[in-house]
Structure 1
Amino acid sequence: MSLALGQVPQDAKQSVGQKLATLDQQVAQAYGQWHSKEQSSEEALGQLNQQRSETIRGIGEDLKNAGAEQPQDMQSMAQCQMMQDQAAAEGGDQGQGAQQGPKAEDFVNIEDVQPNASKEADPGGSFETKCGNNENEHFNSDNVIAAPGVLNGAHHVHDYVGNEDTNAQSSDESLAAAGTTCAKGDQSTHYWPVIRSLDGNEDQRGAVQEGDVAEQQGGDQAGGDQGDQAGDQAANDVNANSVTEDDQGQDAGLDQGQDQGQVEGQDAGVDQGQEQPPAEDQGQDAGVDQGQDQGQEQPPAEDQGQDAGVDQGQDQGQEQPPAEDQGQGQDQGQDQGQDQGQDQGQGEGEDQVGGGEGAEAQPGDGGANDLNVGSILKPDATIKLTSGGADQVTEMPRFLRIITGDAKAFTNGDENANASWSCEGFEDRQLKDKYPICPEGKKMIRTFKFQNCWDGQNTDSGNHRDHMEFSDDQGNCPEGFQNIPQVQQTIKYDIPQENLVNADTPFAVDSFPEQLHNPITDHSDFINVMPEDLMKTAVDCINQDKEC
């Protein structure tokens, strides 16, 4: 069970954050030693459990000394086990680097699906924000909400529209100062996993390149303001197997067979009873491994870097010192020693981790080495704010962060899944766990409807979910929550006809490797950076039944 600490006292945030980094590094080290066959699984686990026990005990002491209550049974969170990798079991032995999933049975002809949804729009007005279709090719494999400060934190590539600054290092301040692709001065951020045509190409746009890491070596103190705001949440959760950050509301936190703690909205701790899946970026001397557990979310950037801080590029086969002893401005001497402490001011209005198509990717780069293969398809996006069924809505706060869907729903279960797939002309037939095969000339559609009930206090929460809820069918919010505009993203794609005719698996959403590109894992992210006057205009349009 995932146990939230609630609020970490200010006096303990830095030390707890450092120990969160240590937990990440310990898991990565153990995985590297096992994957490189330097240790047996039993040896690696024995050492890992001992290390984790000591670190978790230290977290408890930090909380106690700062006057906070320790979660019960903290020491039980130190124990880890391994079992067969579900990705390999489901996907079969396809060879190193081969794409695993989707399968032919993940697709269905939309004409064979019975109507199951209403075509009626929400009552009230709406406000459309025109943000383009990522014509400037803003791609990266970061996730600033779920994994602030972590390069390639998502392990798959995102399309971005809106705010031009958005990457792992973004802060409220940098987002507010950035340009935007949206009209009317809307600086909000919208991002979702790319859709790829499964044509065999290795489209590396957005994948982490060697130069991206090198440019960030020895950067300024990472995180800064972003660590104060979004990073505080990373120190607020304790997971059943680890002290965690973002498990996207998965209470049980049992990532079945997934690599440990991949971040985009999942259990970032060590999964009980799970064997770590093979990952090229662990335990190798590639120098781009971020020191995380196959995408495990790192603590806030301020706790990782401290100017020339925690070296995230360490050889995973070697023991790493405690986080307190890292971050001293010196290279740890492993691999290429790529420092995660990046210049907060770098890259406003530009993609910090984008790469040119065809450039050689590094292991665990968000592209081919994370089993995301194929040409990236261009989105045709429509973004609206609606009533979400409510009679009246109130303004959402600036810098509100919302994640909808579950990037690990294939292994987590569908509790937080919110995928919705369909075709033009068949919008009354919505699919959750299947991809649609659309008739010729009809575009494939993804639809995201975000949580529209806000707790009235927080712009984020420890698991990035608790501050938001969905309204009921009548538009009513749970007690303690208030109606805000509902963000609705409708994204259309032209699927190459030759794919539909000649391939059993014509396209797929980018995903974590062990999620096998299953359609149920679809998800999207939003950060509200609308100027307050524009947000008021949007709310007035909705409440006055206008179409703006």
Structure 2
Amino acid sequence: MRQNHRRRPTRSAKPGTTRLVLVAAALAATGGLTATFVSSGGRGAADAATSPSDFVPIEQVQPNVVPPGTGPDASTGRFTVDCGTNGDGKFSADNPVAQPGVRNGAQHVHDFVGNLVITADSSDADLDASDTTCENGDKSAYFWPVVRIDLSTERDNGQPSAAPTGSAGPLPEPQGPNLELPNNTGDILRPASVLIEYLGNPVGKVIPMPKFLRELTGEAKPTSRGPANARATWTCSGFADRLLDKYPICPTGSQVQRVQDFPGCWDGTNIDSANHRDHVAFADTTTGACPQGFATIPQLRITLSYDIPQEVQAGGQYALDSFPEEDHNPASDHNDFINVNSAQTMHRIATCLNEGEDCR
């Protein structure tokens, strides 16, 4: 099932609604950036703002991506899947990987591509019976926090969102045409393109990943839980040799990108674990080898590319949806995945990677 992938235009203000400009940006003679991004708060405050230091010109970042060298047994192939760009607008605040069974457990809105029925409560049987946005019939679920462009402190009803109280009870429902949640407002910007790739391993062959394997990458709460699981994901097209944990300011003609690598090692037994992490692991960044006791599986990489006007980037006017306490922290970027590829397709993916081919 192929969807219409045209990017949704940014909404203009309703007639009679005051739209307050949030961002004051100035490039001083020294080239320094001053910017403020306000999105109805964070850390429980009504007007918390991101820091100007959260936005960095990509040219100021030194190259820092050094892939491991390949050995004689490397699986050098690549398998790509086209699942669209969420053209039909499947947005949800559910996170069925990190918060299964908890409605609106993400506390921010996700883009979803692939599986069409997935919710916090979906069973494996539900997922397997679903239709999909992926051209090859892949029913896997791929989802990530949306990016928003925020030009006003006012919601569509003229009232700022309230910070969650932390009291017991159901989490707040998304509201309004932009699916606002507490401390997350602004117009959702759909990716211009979504590249989903399954990659091999530089030192060994891969085995098929098991059906219904859950994986996540990144850390949605680096402020409260610590940065141990956070990963640098941000870059610009044409600058693949550098990744940063800040929002990039890209040169004219370059797209803002999020490059999100998932674990490529599996414990060989479990499709999930108590913290949703221990059953998988990342390969060593220097050698490419999996930890002892882990099998090498296809590594999922999702690259999200956005057409963001230069003045919006320089003004610090785009940011992630985030947990309230994260203040739209760029280091809180993350991505989630449930493998619902058929056994036949996953075998074909592994064979493609092991034989060094470029497949789809």
In structure 2, relative to structure 1, the CA distance for the partners of 1:201 and 1:389 (3 Å cut) is farther
Letter paired with 1:464: H
1:540 to 344, 351, 359: 351
In structure 2, relative to structure 1, the CA distance for the partners of 1:99 and 1:467 (3 Å cut) is farther
Letter paired with 1:100: A
Match of residue 109 from structure 1: 57
Task: Say whether residues 1:193 and 2:145 are aligned partners.
Answer: yes
Letter paired with 2:356: D
In structure 2, relative to structure 1, the CA distance for the partners of 1:125 and 1:201 (3 Å cut) is farther
Match of residue 135 from structure 1: 87
Determine the C-alpha separation between the residues in 1 that align with 2:58 and 2:111.
25
Match of residue 480 from structure 1: 293
**Superposition deviation, residue 203 in structure 1:** 8.2
Match of residue 291 from structure 1: 169
Letter paired with 1:534: T
Offset from partner CA, 1:316-344 (integer Å, 9 cap, x none): xxxxxxxxxxxxxxxxxxxxxxxxxxxxx
Determine the C-alpha separation between the residues in 2 that align with 1:185 and 1:92.
40
Match of residue 392 from structure 1: 205
In structure 2, relative to structure 1, the CA distance for the partners of 1:162 and 1:437 (3 Å cut) is same
> What is the correspondence of 1:17-166 to structure 2 with a 5 Å cutoff?
98=46, 100-118=48-66, 124-166=76-118
Match of residue 177 from structure 2: 357
Determine the C-alpha separation between the residues in 1 that align with 2:306 and 2:140.
23
TM-score, length-normalised on structure 2? 0.79
Asked if structure 2 preserves the Cα contact closer than 8 Å seen for 1:202 and 1:368, the reply is: no
Task: Say whether residues 1:279 and 2:156 are aligned partners.
Answer: no
In structure 2, relative to structure 1, the CA distance for the partners of 1:121 and 1:375 (3 Å cut) is farther
> What is the correspondence of 1:224-303 to structure 2 with a 5 Å cutoff?
279-280=163-164, 291=169
> What is the correspondence of 1:320-335 to structure 2 with a 5 Å cutoff?
none
**Superposition deviation, residue 282 in structure 1:** 5.0
Offset from partner CA, 1:110-143 (integer Å, 9 cap, x none): 1111111147998610100111000010000011
**Superposition deviation, residue 369 in structure 1:** 4.1
Task: Say whether residues 1:461 and 2:345 are aligned partners.
Answer: no
Determine the C-alpha separation between the residues in 1 that align with 2:151 and 2:238.
26
Pick the structure with more strand per residue. Answer: 2
Asked if structure 2 preserves the Cα contact closer than 8 Å seen for 1:485 and 1:539, the reply is: yes
Question: Percent of pairs identical after alignment?
Answer: 44
SS of aligned partner of 1:539: helix
Determine the C-alpha separation between the residues in 2 that align with 1:394 and 1:406.
27
Match of residue 21 from structure 2: none
Asked if structure 1 preserves the Cα contact closer than 8 Å seen for 2:108 and 2:181, the reply is: no
> What is the correspondence of 1:3-14 to structure 2 with a 5 Å cutoff?
none
2:235 to 398, 406, 422: 422
SS of aligned partner of 2:319: strand
> 5+ residue gaps in structure 2?
1-38, 157-161
SS of aligned partner of 2:347: helix
Letter paired with 2:107: H
Rg (Cα) greater in structure: 1
Asked if structure 2 preserves the Cα contact closer than 8 Å seen for 1:138 and 1:354, the reply is: no
1:496 to 309, 314, 317: 309
Determine the C-alpha separation between the residues in 2 that align with 1:443 and 1:455.
37
Asked if structure 2 preserves the Cα contact closer than 8 Å seen for 1:99 and 1:372, the reply is: no
Asked if structure 2 preserves the Cα contact closer than 8 Å seen for 1:420 and 1:446, the reply is: yes
**Superposition deviation, residue 389 in structure 1:** 2.4
Asked if structure 1 preserves the Cα contact closer than 8 Å seen for 2:206 and 2:297, the reply is: yes
Task: Say whether residues 1:438 and 2:269 are aligned partners.
Answer: no
**Superposition deviation, residue 391 in structure 1:** 2.1
Asked if structure 1 preserves the Cα contact closer than 8 Å seen for 2:109 and 2:145, the reply is: yes
SS of aligned partner of 1:538: helix
**Superposition deviation, residue 421 in structure 1:** 0.6
**Superposition deviation, residue 169 in structure 1:** 1.3
Match of residue 225 from structure 2: 412
2:120 to 147, 160, 168: 168
**Superposition deviation, residue 498 in structure 1:** 3.4
> 5+ residue gaps in structure 1?
1-90, 205-277, 284-289, 296-312, 314-352, 359-366
1:447 to 259, 263, 266: 259
SS of aligned partner of 1:370: coil
Offset from partner CA, 1:458-486 (integer Å, 9 cap, x none): 00000101101111132221121100000
Asked if structure 2 preserves the Cα contact closer than 8 Å seen for 1:185 and 1:531, the reply is: no
Asked if structure 2 preserves the Cα contact closer than 8 Å seen for 1:190 and 1:526, the reply is: yes
Match of residue 186 from structure 2: 374
Offset from partner CA, 1:208-266 (integer Å, 9 cap, x none): xxxxxxxxxxxxxxxxxxxxxxxxxxxxxxxxxxxxxxxxxxxxxxxxxxxxxxxxxxx
Asked if structure 1 preserves the Cα contact closer than 8 Å seen for 2:83 and 2:134, the reply is: yes
Determine the C-alpha separation between the residues in 1 that align with 2:41 and 2:81.
45
Offset from partner CA, 1:383-408 (integer Å, 9 cap, x none): 00001324200000000000111101
Task: Indicate the structure whose relative CO is greater, using CA pairs within 8 Å and at least 6 residues apart.
Answer: 2
Match of residue 240 from structure 1: none
Asked if structure 2 preserves the Cα contact closer than 8 Å seen for 1:197 and 1:496, the reply is: no
In structure 2, relative to structure 1, the CA distance for the partners of 1:186 and 1:94 (3 Å cut) is closer
Asked if structure 2 preserves the Cα contact closer than 8 Å seen for 1:166 and 1:189, the reply is: yes
Asked if structure 2 preserves the Cα contact closer than 8 Å seen for 1:408 and 1:515, the reply is: yes
In structure 2, relative to structure 1, the CA distance for the partners of 1:354 and 1:155 (3 Å cut) is closer
TM-score, length-normalised on structure 1? 0.53
In structure 2, relative to structure 1, the CA distance for the partners of 1:506 and 1:522 (3 Å cut) is same
Match of residue 471 from structure 1: 283
**Superposition deviation, residue 430 in structure 1:** 1.0
Determine the C-alpha separation between the residues in 2 that align with 1:464 and 1:482.
17
Match of residue 24 from structure 2: none
Determine the C-alpha separation between the residues in 1 that align with 2:95 and 2:104.
8
In structure 2, relative to structure 1, the CA distance for the partners of 1:545 and 1:92 (3 Å cut) is closer
**Superposition deviation, residue 410 in structure 1:** 2.5
